[in-house]
């Protein structure tokens, strides 16, 4: 028969097993924006693709995927589900994202998030908070406010405009990097990696990762928090790549 003391020890061990790693133990953020027409070409039935017409915001602007706390050398971004968020990992892995816990957001943050993250139609923000945001050390509102602010800065810049103007056409990698430098300062493009996918036999822009320092927050100027990407995060786009049009 198990003694009371032994039973309490087993209970405590089980409780600890349901708690994820400590928040704030990371080296950089991978701030990730995506080209939604490429995502919708791959997963056309997703709710966020229903409103992707040629005149929609996401047809000619990069949109928000997430901001992932990242530990050096962790190419899989496995640092996640911090604290109590680990208890919902099963729901997250099953992509029952709308059932995941998301702390309340202020009205301005929710409005900005709905604009820059079309994936909210699929409850993407619930997933992003559970897996990544829980490790940021920020409140949910501060975390998503920062993401939205950085997405707005990217889209309003000459870099974002360069890519948006080439929707349905082709962009040059070197030219895009030069535009990032023009927008955020000489050498800023060292913080950026481009990621492409094959669509119709050609390389098409999928995501852009921008490395940010751990102290990044909504009040930060984007140029002031750029940093060097982890060595595992490398550009895989060719020198010239497509930006798929909306509504293919």
pLDDT of 117 > 90? The answer is yes
Can you tell me the mean pLDDT for 67-80? 94
CATH number, domain with residue 184:
3.90.730.10
Instruction: Tell me the pTM.
Output: 0.92
Q: Which range marks the domain in which residue 37 is found?
A: 4-242
Percentage of the chain beyond pLDDT 90 is 89
Q: Is the pLDDT of residue 65 over 70?
A: yes
Give the distance from CA 174 to its chain's centroid: 23
Instruction: Quick: pLDDT tens for 156-201.
Output: 999 999 999 999 999 999 999 999 999 999 999 999 999 999 988 8
DSSP E strands: which ranges in 71-201?
A: 170-172, 192-199
In a domain, 113, yes or no: yes
Average pLDDT over every residue of 234-239? 97
Instruction: Give me the chain's average pLDDT, please.
Output: 93
Q: Within a domain: residue 247?
A: no
Using CA atoms, how far residue 201 sits from 1, 235, 239, in Å, is 66, 19, 16
Residue 93 token pair? 């892995």
- On whether residue 248 sits in a domain, the answer given is no
Q: Can you give the pLDDT at residue 4?
A: 46
How many structural domains does the chain have?
1
pLDDT tens, 135-162? 999 999 999 999 999 999 999 999 999 9
Is the pLDDT confidence value at 2 over 90?
A: no
pLDDT in tens, 4-58: 444 433 334 444 458 999 999 999 999 999 999 999 999 999 999 998 999 999 9
Chain-centroid distance, C-alpha 234: 16
Rg (CA), the chain: 19
Cα separation, 7 vs 49, in Å, equals 51
Residue 103 CB coordination number (10 Å) = 11
For residue 125, being part of any structural domain is answered with yes
**For residue 232, what are the CA distances in angstroms to 76, 177, 187, 209?**
9, 19, 20, 12
In the prediction, which pLDDT does 20 show?
A: 96
The stretch 69-89 carries a mean pLDDT of 95
Q: Looking up tokens 């800065």, which residue turns up?
A: 153
What is the pLDDT at residue 11?
Answer: 37
Residue 3 pLDDT? 53
Whether residue 14 lies inside any domain: the answer is: yes
Q: Give me the pLDDT at residue 18, please.
A: 85
């Amino acid at each position: 028969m198990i003694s009371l003391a032994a039973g309490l020890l087993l209970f405590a061990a089980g409780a600890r097993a349901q708690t994820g790693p400590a928040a704030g133990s990371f080296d950089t953020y991978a701030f990730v924006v995506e080209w939604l027409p490429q995502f919708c070409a791959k997963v056309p039935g997703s709710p966020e693709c229903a409103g992707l017409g040629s005149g929609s915001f996401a047809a000619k602007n990069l949109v928000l995927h997430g901001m992932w706390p990242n530990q050096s050398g962790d190419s899989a971004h496995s640092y996640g589900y911090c604290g109590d968020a680990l208890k919902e990992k099963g729901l997250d892995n099953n992509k029952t994202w709308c059932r995941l816990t998301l702390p309340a957001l202020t009205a301005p943050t929710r409005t900005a998030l709905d604009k820059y993250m079309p994936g909210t139609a699929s409850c993407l923000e619930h997933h992003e908070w559970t897996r990544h945001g829980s490790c940021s050390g920020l409140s949910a509102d501060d975390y998503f406010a920062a993401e939205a602010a950085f997405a707005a800065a990217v889209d309003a810049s000459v870099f974002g405009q360069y890519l948006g103007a080439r929707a349905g056409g082709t962009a040059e990698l070197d030219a895009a990097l030069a535009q990032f430098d023009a927008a955020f300062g000489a050498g800023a493009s060292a913080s950026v990696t481009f990621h492409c996918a094959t669509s119709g036999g050609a390389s098409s822009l999928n995501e852009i990762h921008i490395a940010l320092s751990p102290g990044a927050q909504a009040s930060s100027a984007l140029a002031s928090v750029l940093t060097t990407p982890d060595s595992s995060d490398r550009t895989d786009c060719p020198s010239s790549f497509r930006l798929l049009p909306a509504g293919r």
